[in-house]
Chain A
Amino acid sequence: MKDVAVIGAGMTLFRRRLKETGKELSFLAAKMALEEAGIQKSDLDMVVMGSAPDAFDGIHMKGENLIDGAAAAGKPYVRVFNGGGTGVFAPIAGWWHVASGVADIVMVVCEEKMGSCYPHPQTAFRHIWDPIIDRPLNPNLIWLFAMEMNRYMTVYNIKKEDIARVAVKNKRNAVGHPCAQLADPNITIDDVLNSEVMAWPVQRLDVSPPSDGASALIYCSKDKVHQFTDDPIWVDGVGWGIDSTMWTNRDLCFPRYVATAAKMAYKMAGITNPPKDIDFAEPYDPFDYKELHHMEGLLLCKKGEAPILTREGVTQRDGDLPICPSGGLLGVGNPIAATMGQKVCEVYWQLAGKAGKRQIPGDPRVGVGQAWGDIMQMATVIVLRR
């Protein structure tokens, strides 16, 4: 396997609706990544696209539609997709293009336009449910997360206010992010606890927003990386895993498929003691409780312990184990696949010391990004190292 370095990243503004088309957003994110890497379309050997359900954009097989914006016209190209897991799975797929030796320079572009689905992308989410046993009950997707959150809270005796701290932290962290949709320097725990109840225990401010946006990442093989940088950031490990779709036959209190994916990535990266060996992480946080759930799945702490670490300030940007320094999905926004911008691009920028106001103090050397999707079943993990 060849060593793979990250040499550039980019992302667009994240907003509920953006005027630009999916192709144009892909172009804008890709252009920024090409600028940072100091290369052009002609330097790219291959392109990987990540984009989540077609139903949001309303363009079936949208991977093909997005090619031109992703700098892939005339090149080897593939679109990968596993729901919310795509934001980290697309960069995993990009990694194996280079690690396998079939390409030296590969760009990964992720795009999502949820605003096109009118009036609300929830209508498209309805088509995710099993048509036989779930759909006749007319479910709303939020139910799924509300039921998982309730199970998690009840099994580990977690207070709602300790979960709300995650929303507060991430929306405040997002203040330093130029693309952020829901940054709020003044938000309090009470704001979260007093926000509208959507499906108890999920309240309005527990949830990340639907968003439009795109992000991009450029990889280079070890053989060529000296042409671009003296201080490369390496992909040290990748992992992915999925559990059965029969989510009512599993205990939702612990995401064991995240642990499967994490163990695969850690083994590759030589990580034996995750809380000690990992300096910071960007776990997937479409809901505040999911950050905690995923910290536990990523083996960054014991089961039920993530809310305690959060309460003690350990996960703050200046804490011992900063979590979601980008502002996460809760603060920056949730254009599903394009959250590669927080989950992988941010890890790269942090390790390169380029995160500006969001920069983690000290000298972070190992960062982990993770995404999650499908019906409580898919996890994707990446480890970057300086």
Chain B
Amino acid sequence: MTEKKEQKESYPKYAPGTHVHDKDIYERKITYTWWEPEVQYSWSLGPAMSRFLQELKAGKIIGIKCNRCRRVIVPPRMFCEYCYGPTSDWVYLKDTGTVETFSLSYLDADARRIEEPILIGVISIDGASPKHGFMHYFGEMKPEELKIGMKVKAVWKPENEREGSITDIKYFKPFRGGEE
């Protein structure tokens, strides 16, 4: 049996395809065509996220409760995806929370290299159910100070600059007890 196996050919038997390099395109060594799509979108946000963003504009974080599983959910939605019934009561949450995870990014949105890292992570929000929160930036701290489990507090844009967006919060900063 073993001998039979050794005689078998190795698969894949060959590797079809022709490798091309970036410079083959820059130097027009290969034939190619080009297309730059121009597409724009405008999303209407529905009742749950519209309320959430309007509350951010007012400087408040709001969640919503599912009366079946008792979760206090943020970001809010009109229905609980697990119980599959409508959510009911709006609940104001604190603007403090806990760092669940984070990254120090040396890449911008287009994968270009940057010198100073972007501090990014997930914050579970105080007043919501455990592990319920959203992604945001961190600031007013050195990269090495950022730790999972640390308490943080939202730093808001000035009221007249808020526009009903997740970026109405500028970032989350370290939160020490007693501070407002």
Contact = CB atoms under 8 A, between A and B. Distances in A.
Interface of A: 9-20, 25, 28-29, 31-32, 36, 58, 115, 120, 122-123, 126, 131-134, 136-140, 142-143, 146-148, 150-151, 154, 178-179, 196-202, 212-213, 244, 246, 248-252, 341, 345, 349, 352-359
A146 B105 contact: yes
Contacts of A252: 100-101
B17 A126 contact: no
B173 interface: no
Given A138-B109, A199-B107, A202-B103, A248 B122 contact: yes
Given A148-B101, A246-B81, A356 B49 contact: no
A137 B167 contact: yes
Nearest to A120: B111
Contact of B102 (A10, A122, A150): A150
Interface residues of B, number: 57
A341 B14 CA distance: 13
Contacts of B107: 122, 140, 142, 198-199
Contact of B15 (A133, A178, A199): A178
11 contacts: A28-B17, A120-B111, A122-B107, A132-B75, A136-B167, A137-B167, A142-B105, A147-B103, A150-B101, A354-B8, A356-B8
A12 B12 CA distance: 9
Contact of B43 (A17, A123, A131, A142): A131
Given A179-B12, A355-B10, A120 B19 contact: no
A137 B101 contact: no
Contact of A139 (B9, B10, B106, B120): B120
A17 B17 contact: no
B37 interface: yes
B19 A249 contact: no
Contacts of A136: 165-167
A248 B135 contact: yes
B111 A122 contact: yes
Nearest to B123: A248
The binding surface of chain A is classed by DSSP as mixed
Given A11-B12, A137-B120, A354-B10, 10 more contacts: A17-B19, A17-B21, A18-B17, A18-B19, A120-B111, A126-B109, A151-B101, A248-B100, A249-B132, A356-B11
Nearest to B137: A137
Contact of A213 (B17, B21, B111, B167): B17
Interface string B102-118: 11111111110000010
Contacts of B25: 17
A337 to B, nearest CB: 16
B17 A123 contact: no
B133 A199 contact: no
Nearest to A15: B19
A15 B17 contact: yes
B101 A9 contact: no
A151 B148 CA distance: 8
Contact of A9 (B11, B105, B109): B11
Contacts of B53: 132
B136 A137 contact: yes
Nearest to A358: B10
Contacts of B49: 132-133
A355 B102 contact: no
A201 B105 CA distance: 9
